[in-house]
Amino acid sequence: MRTIRIPRVVHRFADVNGVRIFYREAGPKDGIPLLLLHGFPSASHQYRRLIDVVGAQYRVVAPDYPGFGHSDAPTSATQGGTFVYSFERLADVMERFCDVIGLHRFVLYAFDFGGPVGFRIASRQPQRIAGLIVQNANAYEEGLTPAARDFIALRREQPGAEEQVRSIMTLAFTREQYVGGTEEPELVPPDGWTLDQYFLDLPGRKEIQVDLAFDYHTNVQSYPKWQAWLREARPRTLIVWGANDPFFTVEGARAYLRDVPDAELHIFNTGHFALEEKLPEIAERVLAFLSRITA
């Protein structure tokens, strides 16, 4: 009888300075782990299918940021609370999360928001990064589409700016992030965008995303710093990219080769959430990359 290898995925909370961070973990405890950092407006559930493939051979950890998914969502400082929702703060929490659960060195998988969060950690503590997998996580000016540039230019004090930000938090827009640009939209399960919208609609969650949207310009300001880390550290890098992303261009994917010329680059004819449609193709390359890292 053929043996089917299905990982045992556990679901836990870690206390990070009084904030409960939810995370999924699978795979053997030994070896270099893979840290999966999610994007907007999602959470660790976006990696469930990848975990089922990779977690059979490698340790995989996928957390939810504070204010996302199943993690605690402290009241935003702009809403009278004490928690400041910024990309710097998300990186602080994720860095401490790694300390709490014992991730001292890992392969970083950065998607969308996972880029600004993960690259901050990497540039602060480059010794932690054993390898880098980039999937539609931008770090270059030429990687921004005109629509992305216009959105990033919004400031809270501008009339109508908050309404524009909130317009991307509807079910229709969330669904479009998943199916837009795909070859076969019927391959994209509705579970992802439905669950994303459920979390977005919880009390206080949209206010958190408004704060982060108005902080996004700090990521663009940080591009030179992240690029300097890439040039200096030259991490072993795999780039997998959905070519039809409405936010981040293929030019942004290719730009990584300037700073990490030995990086492996694969472009797929799909959208922003490339894993949804191209999981078999991407997972195959992730497994091959991890086998080289851990050899």
Give the closest residue to 38 by CA, choosing from 19, 55, 16, 60: 60
Rounded to an integer, what distance in angstroms lies between the CA atom of residue 283 and that of residue 286? 5
38, 45, 70, 272: which one is catalytic? 272
Rounded to an integer, what distance in angstroms lies between the CA atom of residue 136 and that of residue 115? 9
Instruction: Say if residues 60 and 26 touch (Cβ distance below 8 Å).
Output: yes
Helix then strand count (H, E) for the chain reads: 11, 8
Q: State the CB neighbour count (10 A cutoff) for residue 48.
A: 15
- Active site (annotated) includes residue 45: no
Task: Give the containing element (helix H, strand E) for 210.
Answer: helix 205-215
Which regions of the chain does DSSP assign to beta strands (E)?
10-16, 19-26, 34-37, 60-63, 106-111, 129-135, 237-242, 264-268
Label the pairing between strands 10-16 and 19-26.
antiparallel
Q: What length is written for the chain?
A: 295
Task: Give the position of tokens 């999610």.
Answer: 38
Instruction: Write out the catalytic residue numbers.
Output: 272
